[in-house]
Amino acid sequence: MSADMHDVAMTPVLPGSEDAAGQQATLGVMGGGQLGRMFVHAAQRLGYFTAVLEPDAQSPAGQVSHHHIQTDYHDPAGLAQLAQLCQAITTEFENVPAQALQALALTRPVAPGAAVVGIAQNRIAEKALFTACADVSGVTCAPYAVIETLAQLQAVQDDRADLLPGILKTARLGYDGKGQVRVRTAVELAAAWAELGGAACVLEKLLPLTAECSVLVARGWDGQVVSFAPQRNVHVDGILAVTHAYEGNMPPALADRAREAAVSISQHLSYVGVLCVEFFVVADGSAHGGLVVNEMAPRPHNSGHYTLDACDVSQFDLQVRAMAGLPLPPPRHHSPAIMLNLLGEVWLDGNGGRREPDWPAVLSLPGTHLHLYGKVQARAGRKMGHLTITGPDVARVKTVARRAAGLLGLPGLDFI
Ligand code: ATP
Ligand code: MG
């Protein structure tokens, strides 16, 4: 695909405008989680009305939107209502059925489109894409094999010892490290595949990671593209725990390569909207030139939440602008920042009870920005909110982040 083949003219949906029937300019989002909530906040700040399609009555985005269409993502009547209310539509999580986006796209601009969301929903398609554009992006993914049949399992057991030790990942519906099993031997691989129910999977070689990073890109209908510098991410138990967003967070040459690779992938896809591309930094001297592309999310990403407080335009502002056909100025990252994810454990006392975090102590620290998502029930591993720390320099940001993490009992203090 070449970018200009697919770029289309889009009549901008102007903020605060009304149509002939007096209907306010309204932007829609499929999904009601925290990413939808922060999208709604950004859209409303510009004066748009918003509509959220989400089955859950108590969703983070449904709580704050002008309209909440409480139906299943497949429901034709709900989709028709969303299209009727909105001048442009986006999505906030990648497991929205691609057919629903296709149906909406018959009558409304939908960004990102069903085809690219479909690729991001399937690790097999995603890896094929990364492989197909490796020449232009300059990065490859980890060595891998597709396992969809017993014959493929057998072939990998016989001929791909190079992939072990590895990680077996389901092709679909994985997130936060779910649907993944680490395997050391061919026997463990067979057992793990059985444990995953014989679902379509990829076996990926376990790489010696020295770091992980991600890049946020925003691309418009006209092909205009802007990006943020890479943020460095630390995962604990497969879930993002800490994001480091400041100059010097990783070697500059790698940062430049990651940023260029993410932009070229968005161009290859003729992507419209905000795209997050995740990378592994691997130990020097490896065959991968130090950088490996892991996966992409067709939406704003947890690792980009710091942009709300540390940049003049956030990832959610850019999502609004891109889908609505507004200009995309290059974002300016004005403050060093560290983001700490707040999972349910912060509210759990370890004895089955609930505790209230010491917010007065946390918020008395300079440069702390608390974001809670309006989720009523705290569960272990559930993303309840995040805390971003900004400051005049990296040293001060780190000091405050360590204090805040200590007050909240967060794991991974040593990563700050
Ligand atoms: P999410 O969607 O929340 O980012 P996910 O469940 O889709 O996560 P991945 O990003 O593929 O899963 O993997 C989760 C984490 O596991 C990675 O961030 C990395 O820390 C580790 N990991 C995954 N694949 C590899 C690999 N090939 N080698 C080493 N570590 C890996
Ligand atoms: Mg990931």
- 169 CA closest ligand 1 atom index: 11
177 shares its domain with 286: no
Mutate to test the pocket of ligand 1, among 35, 180, 305, 341 (most ligand atoms within 8 A of CB): 180
Nearest listed ligand to the Cα of residue 301? 1
Query: Using 50, 70 and 90 to split pLDDT, how confident is the model at 4?
Result: very low
For residue 263, give Cα distances in angstroms to 120, 127, 133, 137, 176. Answer: 16, 17, 12, 8, 24
* Residue 136 lies inside a defined structural domain of this protein: no
Question: Residue 186 and residue 230: Cα distance in Å, rounded?
Answer: 36
155 shares its domain with 197: yes
76 shares its domain with 103: yes
* Residue 63 lies inside a defined structural domain of this protein: yes
77 shares its domain with 96: yes
For residue 242, give the CATH number of its domain: 3.30.470.20
* Residue 390 lies inside a defined structural domain of this protein: yes
Pocket of ligand 1 (CB under 6 A): 142, 167, 169, 174-178, 204-207, 209, 212, 235, 238, 278, 294-295
227 shares its domain with 190: no
How many structural domains is the chain composed of?
Answer: 3
Protein residue with its CA nearest to atom 31 in ligand 1: 206
Last residue of a domain, one of 180, 205, 230: 205
Mutate to test the pocket of ligand 1, among 209, 243, 275, 302 (most ligand atoms within 8 A of CB): 209
The string of DSSP codes covering 252-315 is HHHHHHHHHHHHHHHHHTT--EEEEEEEEEE-TTSTTTTEEEEEEESS--GGGTTHHHHBSS-H
Q: How far is the CA of 175 from the centre of ligand 2 (A)?
A: 7
Q: Name the DSSP letter for residue 136.
A: H
Protein residue with its CA nearest to atom 27 in ligand 1: 206
For residue 174, give the CATH number of its domain: 3.30.1490.20
Nearest listed ligand to the Cα of residue 179? 1
Task: Tell me the mean pLDDT in the region 164-192.
Answer: 90
Q: How far is the CA of 239 from the centre of ligand 2 (A)?
A: 8
Question: Residue 321 and residue 330: Cα distance in Å, rounded?
Answer: 12
Q: pLDDT for 219-277, tens place per residue?
A: 999 999 999 999 999 999 889 999 999 999 999 999 999 999 999 999 999 999 999 99
Q: pLDDT for 180-207, tens place per residue?
A: 999 999 999 999 999 999 999 999 999 9
* Residue 199 lies inside a defined structural domain of this protein: yes
Mutate to test the pocket of ligand 1, among 123, 167, 214 (most ligand atoms within 8 A of CB): 167
Question: Residue 282 and residue 165: Cα distance in Å, rounded?
Answer: 16
Query: Using 50, 70 and 90 to split pLDDT, how confident is the model at 173?
Result: confident
Nearest listed ligand to the Cα of residue 209? 1
Determine how many CB atoms are found less than 10 A away from the CB of residue 27. Answer: 28
Protein residue with its CA nearest to atom 23 in ligand 1: 167
DSSP three-state, residue 80: helix
DSSP three-state, residue 343: strand
In terms of residue numbers, what domain contains 235?
209-410
Question: Residue 272 and residue 327: Cα distance in Å, rounded?
Answer: 13
179 shares its domain with 166: yes
Contacts of residues 109-115 at CB distance under 8 Å and 24 or more positions apart, as own/partner, are 109/10, 109/221, 109/323, 109/325, 111/221, 111/272, 111/273, 111/322, 111/323, 112/271, 112/272, 112/273, 112/275, 112/298, 112/299, 113/272
Last residue of a domain, one of 62, 88, 120: 120
Task: Tell me the mean pLDDT in the region 129-136.
Answer: 95
Protein residue with its CA nearest to atom 5 in ligand 1: 175
Phi-psi region of 288 (alpha: psi -120 to 50; beta: other; left: phi over 0): alpha
Residue 281 has pLDDT above 50, yes or no: yes
CA distance from start to end of the chain: 41
Tokens in use for 256?
């430049």
Nearest listed ligand to the Cα of residue 172? 1
Contact 39, 316 (CB under 8 A): yes
213 shares its domain with 276: yes
Contact 142, 289 (CB under 8 A): no
Residue 284 has pLDDT above 80, yes or no: no
- 180 CA closest ligand 1 atom index: 6
Protein residue with its CA nearest to atom 21 in ligand 1: 238
Residue 6 has pLDDT above 50, yes or no: no
349 shares its domain with 251: yes
386 shares its domain with 296: yes
DSSP three-state, residue 325: coil
For residue 112, give the CATH number of its domain: 3.40.50.20
pLDDT of residue 2: 38
229 shares its domain with 336: yes
